[in-house]
Chains A and B, each alone.
Chain A
């Protein structure tokens, strides 16, 4: 690490510490995209898969299915085929 970058780190972190100290931490930060609570509780019996009970839904054993996407990937951005990178 060069002397220049040492100086850079010290000045950058000094400034960041000063700025972080005056703005409340996470609470004041951007509330961008909320993930929500809907994810809770998936080990519940049966309903969410973890049987302390049997599943009510019947899935056909050995079911075959033709894979044709019908979801938002066909509509997103107006393109049928997503760009490849």
Chain B
């Protein structure tokens, strides 16, 4: 087992900033990249190896779909395994979502899953299979979703807590996702947080959403990762840190990606909140 992520702020590193971050050491505690972009080999893998030599690296998967009622795709899992053999990642994460069915039909998205006992059996088996294949625990991230299974018999926080108990996985707590779900679906934030096992939370995500209005006049907050973190999400983040303690925290920005300095400033804001907490605790 490698060392965990440093308890400080990092950024999701995307294509426009690869060369800048490689050319000069940036004031970053750690970086996170998407696993699938580095499957197989060539220049992308070589660059990732260079980055991993300069910064603690987290690999964030978007394609395994462990919340499917079907087993994980063996090809995808094998490719991820080869990647982890080739690159020293200190954290590996996936989402509590599905993207395929048993007939290998995929939607390349993060789709919400039912939170039921029967589903828990399937997802726990999938997570265990993935962790066995990868020979390491995963961090599983809570989802931003726009609809919910009508027959849920628990909420997402309880589901994640059960998943931790059954598989030994860790959790990646996306505070923006939680806020978006509160606004879109009426998720009870306090109940969600109260259900989580504090020791399991290995990483936190922050991002900005977009409000979208539809033909029928309804609105949804869409988790676009295209904006600065909203004040309400910063507020929720402070609550989360006060509740669980300081955790490695990532700024995600994936659309309309701003200059690196903007991302570093967002990360500095998160770092200041982490520092305040640490000072208050000592």
Contact = CB atoms under 8 A, between A and B. Distances in A.
A54 B256 contact: no
Contacts of A43: 34-37, 62-63
Contact of A50 (B34, B43, B223, B256): B34
Nearest to B44: A40
B199 interface: no
Contacts of B100: none
Interface of B: 12, 14-15, 18, 34-37, 43-44, 47, 60, 62-63, 95, 108-110, 144, 207, 210, 212, 222-226, 252, 254-257
Given A37-B43, A40-B18, A44-B14, A53 B225 contact: yes
Given A43-B37, A45-B34, A46-B224, A52 B18 contact: no
Nearest to B12: A45
Interface string A46-82: 1111111111101000000000000000000000000
Contacts of A53: 144, 207, 222-226, 252, 254-255
Contact of A40 (B43, B210, B256): B43
B15 A52 contact: no
Nearest to A43: B36
A49 B108 contact: yes
A46 B254 CA distance: 6
Q: Tell me the interface secondary structure of chain A in the complex.
A: loop
Given A37-B43, A40-B43, A56-B210, A51 B109 contact: yes
B210 A51 contact: no
Contact of B254 (A37, A45, A58): A45
Contact of B63 (A37, A48, A50): A50
A13 B60 CA distance: 48
Nearest to B14: A44
Nearest to A55: B224
A41 interface: yes
Given A43-B36, A44-B15, A50-B62, 6 more contacts: A40-B44, A43-B35, A47-B225, A50-B63, A56-B222, A58-B212
B15 A45 contact: no
B203 to A, nearest CB: 13
7 contacts: A40-B37, A44-B14, A47-B14, A53-B225, A56-B210, A56-B222, A56-B226
Given A51-B108, A51-B110, A52-B110, A44 B37 contact: yes
Contacts of A54: 144, 210, 222-224
Interface string A2-17: 0000000000000000
A75 to B, nearest CB: 30
A49 to B, nearest CB: 7
A37 B110 CA distance: 27
A52 B109 CA distance: 7
Nearest to A58: B212
